[in-house]
């Protein structure tokens, strides 16, 4: 059987996911699949549930019903298994969330040493390689506050990669950055995508989405309203809601 006729298990799969915050119905029957090596861009108006969706994937948020599967396996509810699974999905947020009192190198080696029990020397070697790869190796002995936002966000990416994740989730990773720093972070993400990383990216950076996304999902009011090829979506959105939204973010 040829490779593409074989059934492949998606790296991430959501089936009919429902979530409420009190009276607010924030995820409404959300189903999606992310195949291995695929880059999915999630786009939509503020408050539509994009961050919540990302957070449910590594169970920073619980769901009311439906299923979330990582490589075909349901998300564990709690305990050791959940911690292990969380380590398999990297997450990069709008705010960099680096440990302020640790050096850049320590920020990157902490996870491997404490969670994966990697030997410290080995973890440091790998951390330096990753920091080199994202272009901040010379900052290794500084603390986060001594770095620019763009540099900190690249450290956050290196820190996630150090855990050898099966997939990476990016929630508006460039929206807190000064404009001149956006591209240095996007370039690292483009490179990751080229290397075959499975990625879910919440972003309004349309040029990035056109270049890198295999698929775009448009979310509004807790629902996925459109799904498709990025150029097709940006040039010919099917729903009025998407047309309005794209009009509102023009110039990004």
The structure tokens listed for 21 are: 């915050």
In this chain, which of 51, 56, 153, 203 binds ligand ATP, going by CB under 6 A? 51
Q: Which residues contact 67 (CB under 8 A, 6 or more apart)?
A: 13, 14, 15, 16, 17, 74
Which tokens go with 245?
């939204």
Closer of 24 and 83 to ligand ATP (Cβ):
24
Asked if 46 is part of the footprint of ligand ATP (rule: CB under 6 A), the reply reads yes
Closest approach of ligand ATP to the CB of residue 224, in Å? 12
Other Cβ atoms closer than 10 A to 238: 14
CB of 54 to ligand ATP, least distance (A): 8
- Helix 104-114 / helix 149-161 crossing angle, nearest 10 deg: 20
Site stretch for ligand ATP (CB under 6 A), options 19-27, 70-78, 152-160, 187-195: 19-27
Nearest to Mg ion of 51, 107 (CB atom)? 51
| CA distance linking residue 160 with residue 81, whole number of Å | 19
203 belongs to the binding site for Mg ion (CB under 5 A): no
Stretch that binds ligand ATP, among 49-57, 112-120, 136-144, 155-163 (CB under 6 A): 49-57
The residue to which tokens 């009011």 are assigned:
221
Whose Cβ is closer to ligand ATP: residue 56's or residue 109's? 56
Closest contact distance (angstroms) between CB of 55 and ligand ATP is 8
Q: Does 150 bind ligand ATP (CB under 6 A)?
A: no
Question: Could you report how far apart the first and last alpha carbons of the chain are, in Å?
Answer: 44
CB 65 within 8 A of CB 43: no
CA dist 41 and 212 (Å) reads 9
Distance separating alpha carbons of residues 227 and 44, to the nearest angstrom: 12
Residue 26 touches which member of Mg ion, ligand ATP, none, C-beta under 5-8 Å by kind: ligand ATP
The residue (of 19 and 126) whose beta carbon lies closer to ligand ATP is 19
Distances from the Cα of 163 to the Cα of 57, 61, 86, 223, angstroms: 17, 21, 10, 31
CB of 89 to ligand ATP, least distance (A): 17
Rule CB under 5 A: which of 46-75 touch Mg ion? 51
From candidates 26, 156, 161, 199, binder to ligand ATP by CB under 6 A: 26
CB 33 to Mg ion: min, Å: 21
Q: Which residues bind ligand ATP (CB under 6 A)?
A: 21, 24, 26, 44, 46-52
């Amino acid at each position: 059987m040829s490779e593409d006729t074989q059934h492949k298990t998606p790296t991430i799969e959501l089936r009919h996911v429902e979530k409420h915050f009190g009276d607010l119905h924030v995820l409404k029957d959300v189903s999606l699949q992310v195949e291995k090596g695929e880059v999915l861009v999630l786009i939509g108006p503020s408050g539509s549930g994009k961050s919540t969706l990302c957070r449910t994937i590594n169970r920073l948020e619980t769901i009311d019903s439906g299923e979330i599967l990582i490589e075909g396996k349901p998300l564990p509810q709690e305990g050791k298994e959940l911690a292990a699974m969380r380590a398999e999905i990297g997450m990069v947020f709008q705010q960099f969330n680096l440990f302020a009192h640790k050096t850049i190198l320590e920020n990157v080696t902490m996870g491997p040493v404490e969670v994966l029990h990697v030997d410290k020397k080995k973890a440091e070697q790998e951390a330096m390689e990753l920091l080199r790869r994202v272009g901040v190796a010379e900052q290794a002995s500084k603390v986060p506050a001594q770095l620019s936002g763009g540099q900190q966000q690249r450290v956050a990416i290196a820190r996630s990669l150090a855990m050898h994740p099966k997939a990476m989730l990016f929630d508006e990773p460039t929206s807190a950055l000064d404009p001149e720093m956006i591209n240095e972070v996007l370039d690292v993400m483009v490179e990751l995508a080229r290397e075959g990383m499975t990625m879910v990216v919440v972003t309004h950076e349309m040029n990035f989405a056109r270049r890198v996304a295999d698929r775009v999902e448009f979310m509004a009011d807790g629902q996925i309203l459109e799904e498709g090829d990025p150029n097709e979506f940006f040039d010919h959105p099917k729903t009025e809601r998407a047309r309005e939204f794209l009009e509102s973010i023009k110039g990004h």
